[in-house]
Structure 1
Amino acid sequence: MLAGLVDGFVELPEPPDVGDGAAEDGPLAWPGYGAARERAVARTGERESVLCGTGRVDGTRAVLIVFEFAFLGGSLGEHAGARIEAAHACARARHLPLVSLVASGGSRMQEGMRALSQLQRVARQTALTGAAGVPQISVARHPTTGGGWAAVAAGADVCLALGGAEVAFAGSRIRPAGTDPRAACTAEAQLAAGHVDGVVPADGLRRALGRWLSLLSGPAAGRVAPPYALGAAAPPQSGWAAVERARDAGRPRADAYLDACFSFREEIGGDRCGGRDEQGVTCGFGRLPDGRTAAFAAQRGTAVRPAGLRTAARLVRLADRLGFPVLTLVDTPGAAGDIDAERAGTGPAVADCFAAVVACRTPVTTLVVGEGGSGGALALAAPDRTWMTPDSYFSVLAPEAATAVLKRDPSLVRETAEQLRLRPQDVVELGVARGIVGPPPGRAAVRRRGAGHPDGTPRGG
């Protein structure tokens, strides 16, 4: 696994002997266990199912935990747990990102509860490493099941999976009869369910890991300035004009702003709770012009669903823990209110997003690039650090919904839009937004509070 992926690999020193009976039959005196271990050593050339060390992946130095499935199914026993613990301690001491290349059937049966308890040991190390602000990336290889999935791969900040790999908590021998593994137990199924962040081919793993490691190794200092306005150059004259402009299918959307802000970016793929909202929200980390990294959570112009809000909250909390500033882009008519969305928890998801943004210790900057519809939009908006584009609006409710709530005739929707004072310049005057961002250099200036681009800093800088 290491060949062609890691340069200059140096194995970590062996942790102190934990008395797992390498030449005997282990803590349970399991008949033949010692002999099985010796056969695994002869077959693989390794002394354990886990190999730990340091090396460079596409130029970025990292601590690596590499599972050898041919050694007793990559199972976790006491000595494997001790090696993983030592790897985490090394990553924290050297402040190096930690990469886990997992291929495991779970806990080692021949060590019983002593083996199962290693999942708690690994979980504790994962928590300590996370609290230290050290990034953790995992790769679920074939197969990744049981504790290898639950305690190692799924607990990482970013979880990738190799295409076609079996990835599941229940291994193939203990699943209910008749289970179709393609429905939920593959890398692709876990991606669709929001449990992994990306599926990559084996020959693309070095590049994918290299990009992620590069991004997560260089947080930007200070705030991210909102991007320049890419659409209209002047604010709208009326409330309804603001609504029509924000709903114009041809105006710049989130991806255009992210392309302008970042030279490259990688996305996290879901909420880790069984959901994805690719149409509603995109979240991840991107490279700024100064070579540093910022996090982003961007709405894409549709009604945002609970999974999208939870993914955004996950992104903000991850950025906070790792020390990355955050850019959020607001563009949604509001949170989805259909029956499926309500069952999936729209209200709790909005609340969770509010909580993540207001509690974030790293700077959060928001740009409203289109529709700003009610709580679903406000959930991603930074208090006292929100800016508007000339082709955006922000409102307590969309004009049609507000008209209905007020029991007005639908013909009065344009009048309602005026009374809501939802134009970008109105939102600034109301004190909810700090200003209207201007166009890139060379285009006509836009009237707003203050002069020049916000903070006087380059776009994305």
Structure 2
Amino acid sequence: MPDARCDRVPAREVIATVTGSFTEHRPPTSPAPPDGPLGWSGYAESRARASARTGEEESVLYGTAVVEGRECVLVAFEFGFLGGSLGGSTGDRLEAAYALAGERRLPLVSLVATGGSRMQEGMIALTQLHRVARASTRLRAEGLAQIAVLRDPTTGGGWATVGAGADVVLALPGAQIGFAGSRVRPADADPYAYTAEGQLAAGQIDAVVTPDELPVTLGRWLAALTVTGPARAAPVPGALSAAGLPATGWEAVEQARAAARPRAEAYLDAYFQHRLPLNGDRCGGRDPGLLCGVGLHAGRPVAYAAQCGTATRPAGYRTAARVIRLADRLGLPVLTLVDTPGAANDAEAERAGAGAAIADAFAAVAGARVPVTTLVIGEGGSGGALALAAPDNTHVTTDSYFSVIAPELAAAILKRGPDEVRPTADQLRLRPQDLVELGVARSVVGPAGPEG
């Protein structure tokens, strides 16, 4: 790997803009051959030039830091040192940083800028990815959060481990992000796909954050992902509608489908002091009709997954499952808002794995060890809605319904005419009060909360 460009912001300057304080740590090191494990001629001179130019001994530095009053372990890549590349000594530092986070019971924040593995160390450099993946997995098993901030560029193995392997992935505007670096991509590759904005659109990162916003954003994420004490169930949101209980099943359907009915965005805004979005399924998809993230309610973090009234797509279910499993691992309670006519059932949704994605959402809710609270705020359409509903802690608003299938489709399956749709809605017993009586829901919720 040739000596790197040095026109990017040095690691210590980035650290200074993000943190209130930083205490550097250094792992014990063993003597290495001057030209590295491969005896690569000129490697020692390249390292010496990189060190003289940057003032650093390696491409990564780490230590404990305070960000907006929140303590964490901080890792920062120095791109000016051989392109922020990973070698054996880099692996030592990264492994030590993850271990320090585990010992101190602190979240890990990584400020990533790397061109990949160091060619002068060959396969020894590449196998550092195993070390990083193992250290990251151990920290995950200990219930500690990992946040990555992707700077320009973040490519190769650094992206595929420290970056993409984090729980929350933020990026600076315009940052080059991709497994393939600029010199090894296909000549006709779409350049947008390798940018922070392109990766956000593809559901691979959670947010693009400007440098000015980064300290506050990191501080909020650290507050949201640092849990003290056992998870308590998220309180049921109060209803935002003054609608009365429906007299008939069809009236319940009409109230749930009313254009003026309060939607998920309004419920989330009323419930949370502020929200931090988690975007995308990490498989190249995102569903704008399902909002996910973590917010602060009454000063305590709560993870959320909220349907917005549209048919939920496979990417939405996979994103919700990702968020619920993250909450479960970190000990955060979960709030789900159910509002969908059902799962998307077009050919594209089937090709994208609708059945498997819905099954994954069911499994995430069923396997959660933290309490899950559900409020049905509109349409509860079949299994596409049930996949995000807590089996023993679901509540309903007066302008909602929950049904095995929409009345129109039920009538069609039963070979009934259009004039029989309304009686079918009554037979389905889908009204809020019916759901409580059947034991499907625990309560009908009013503006002040559950009313029993």
Give the TM-score normalised by structure 2.
0.95
State the distance in 2 between where 1:5 and 1:284 align. 22
Q: Is the 8 A contact 1:15 1:86 kept in 2?
A: yes
Deviation at 1:77, TM superposition (A): 0.5
> Which 4+ runs in 1 deviate beyond 2 A?
18-21, 218-221
Deviation at 1:411, TM superposition (A): 2.0
Report what 2:16 is aligned to: 3
Report what 1:453 is aligned to: none
Report what 1:207 is aligned to: 216
1:400 equivalent among 389, 393, 408:
408
Query: Which amino acid is 2:355 matched to?
Result: G
1:436 equivalent among 419, 439, 444:
444
State the distance in 2 between where 1:215 and 1:40 align. 38
Report what 2:321 is aligned to: 313
State the distance in 1 between where 2:95 and 2:291 align. 34
Report what 2:29 is aligned to: 17
Deviation at 1:408, TM superposition (A): 1.0
1:226 paired to 2:236: yes
Report what 1:43 is aligned to: 53
Report what 1:191 is aligned to: 200
State the distance in 2 between where 1:166 and 1:391 align. 46
Deviation string for 1:68-120 (max 9, x for gaps)? 00000000011111111111111111111100000000100001111000101
State the distance in 1 between where 2:234 and 2:30 align. 48
Q: 1:77–1:435: structure 2 CA closer, same or farther, 3 Å change rule?
A: same
1:127 paired to 2:140: no
Deviation at 1:233, TM superposition (A): 4.7
Deviation at 1:435, TM superposition (A): 1.2
Q: Is the 8 A contact 1:428 1:436 kept in 2?
A: yes
State the distance in 1 between where 2:168 and 2:23 align. 24
Report what 2:226 is aligned to: 217
Deviation at 1:7, TM superposition (A): 1.5
1:369 paired to 2:377: yes
The DSSP-based 3-state class of the residue aligned with 1:64 is strand
Q: Is the 8 A contact 1:285 1:295 kept in 2?
A: yes
Deviation at 1:39, TM superposition (A): 0.5
Q: How does 1:47-62 map to 2 (within 5 A)?
A: 47-62=57-72
Deviation string for 1:296-330 (max 9, x for gaps)? 11100100000000000000000000010101110
Q: Is the 8 A contact 1:194 1:274 kept in 2?
A: yes
2:268 equivalent among 241, 258, 263:
258
1:331 equivalent among 335, 339, 342:
339
Report what 1:456 is aligned to: none
1:65 paired to 2:75: yes
Deviation string for 1:34-86 (max 9, x for gaps)? 11001100000000000101111122111001000000000001111111111
Deviation at 1:178, TM superposition (A): 2.2
Deviation at 1:238, TM superposition (A): 0.7
1:105 paired to 2:115: yes
1:162 equivalent among 154, 172, 192:
172
Deviation string for 1:363-382 (max 9, x for gaps)? 00111010000011000001
Aligned length: 438
Query: Which amino acid is 2:132 matched to?
Result: V
Deviates further, 248-257 or 388-397: 248-257
State the distance in 2 between where 1:96 and 1:70 align. 28
State the distance in 1 between where 2:153 and 2:106 align. 27
Q: Is the 8 A contact 1:281 1:299 kept in 2?
A: yes
Query: Which amino acid is 2:426 matched to?
Result: E
1:78 paired to 2:77: no
Query: Which amino acid is 1:3 matched to?
Result: A
Deviates further, 348-357 or 245-254: 245-254
Deviation at 1:221, TM superposition (A): 3.3
Q: Is the 8 A contact 1:421 1:427 kept in 2?
A: yes
Q: Is the 8 A contact 2:227 2:331 kept in 1?
A: no
Gaps of 5+ in 2: 1-13
